[in-house]
Amino acid sequence: MRGLGTARRRGTDHQEADGADAGGGLIAQLRRPPGGRDARTMLLGQLVDRTGSGVWAASSVLFFTFVVGLDAGRLGLLLGAGAVAGIAGPPLAGHLADRLPVRPLLIACHLLRLLTLGAMLVVTRFEALMVIVALTCLGDRAAKTLEMLFATRVAGDRRATYQALSRSAANAGCALGAGLAALGLAVGTRSAHEVLILGNALSFLAAAALVWRTREPRGHGRLTAPAAGAAAPPAKAPATGPWRDRGYLRFVLLDTALNVDASLLDVGLPLWLVHHTDAPHAVIPAFLALNTVLVVALQLPVSAKVRAPRQAAGAVAWYGFFLLGACALLALSPEHGPWAASATLLAAAALVTAAEMVRSVSSWELSVALAPPQARASYLGVAGLSSSVQKAVGPPLLTGAVMAAGPPGWLALGAGVTAVALLQRRTGLRRLDAVDAGAPTSRSAATSPHSGTEPLTTGQ
């Protein structure tokens, strides 16, 4: 009876996944996402997680400054150490996911962050805080990679749709968290700051509980389960791992430069507005609001245009063009008064958001398609380095080089990113051509360790 119930439940999940294509809108897709019930539960967990993260992002600097009493120098060192520690999270998560189930690993990451955030309420020594913040960032980056692995296993060849839903849920959560933080910051007391931290910590506990309710995707060490009747995959992963795969490392290196939109939105636009334009400071919150609205409204339609690896490679060029346009607007903004500068900066923020939406789906699709199926967990862990390295390198690059050079610095950044995007497009298509040329024509190609474009099962 238990087996029959499981079969019926899985059949329902498949119907939900199949019906999602016909649903059309965001709400319908969220009700019937690729991967069925497990995917829906995981998306809810991401919403809860990102709500807490939004609270922390909006309140952490003020907490460390006014509650802990750190000066600007020590605060910068603290945040920098956390960003550097976060770089190790994705490859570590990918390495472990090749050997262990994803669910308990993700739960462990949430619980680690729960403990470290709770420790901030009682720890005041700077050295101890550095360790706590480093562990928090390590767990945060590892959790995001594990969420990606889970999604790729359960969503199969509809992973682009899942990614769009994930980003919509994440952006909505961050916006909700920022709003909740604003209420606490308006009170401004030590107790209010502590309540915000506690709320963030509890969001990790709730996310861990939701992950616990999901089922482990099939295929430990792999991201797909073989279709019925297909040839069994090799027992071992390919001998060439991600650290010896020059083509994949080249993709990750180029992808790191193509993550600069995050630093541009969070750091570049606000600081440029404050120090180089006449636009009112009240425009700064509008950057995040505009970004959130556009991602929630448009990420699904954008993802619908990129459903295959070659489409993803072609879309990379648009990332460069959007960033070039945004940088050109930033270069022009100091020449205008407050109203014109505000409009110019908001237009730049819209182009950065467009680039972000293209990058998220193209980077996601290519990182999966260019990796051997039998070692995708470790490969995707290495792919996660691109966003982690950008978090550590992007802000200093913008503040120390681009903005210091003024408008020519923005034009140089835009031109450089566009050149990298075009190079990524060319090298990605070349690797996909090599995969197609060497792929077996039999059905067993679906599980060949050398294939990067095989059809993926849902893992249900």
Give the residue from 204, 216, 207 showing the smallest Cα distance to 100: 216
**Confidence (pLDDT) at 24:** 56
Share above pLDDT 90 across residues of the chain, in percent, rounded to a whole number: 30
**Confidence (pLDDT) at 217:** 73
**Confidence (pLDDT) at 143:** 93
**Confidence (pLDDT) at 21:** 45
Which amino acid would we find at residue 259?
N
**Confidence (pLDDT) at 218:** 62
**Confidence (pLDDT) at 364:** 83
Residues of the chain with pLDDT under 70: 1-25, 218-240, 335, 435-460
> pLDDT tens digits for 190-230?
888 889 889 999 999 999 999 999 988 765 444 443 333 33
Report the chain's terminal Cα–Cα distance, integer Å. 19
Give the residue from 236, 232, 371, 345 showing the smallest Cα distance to 283: 345
**Confidence (pLDDT) at 12:** 43
> pLDDT tens digits for 58-98?
788 788 888 888 887 788 788 888 888 989 999 999 889 88
**Confidence (pLDDT) at 330:** 94
> pLDDT tens digits for 331-355?
988 767 889 999 999 999 999 999 9
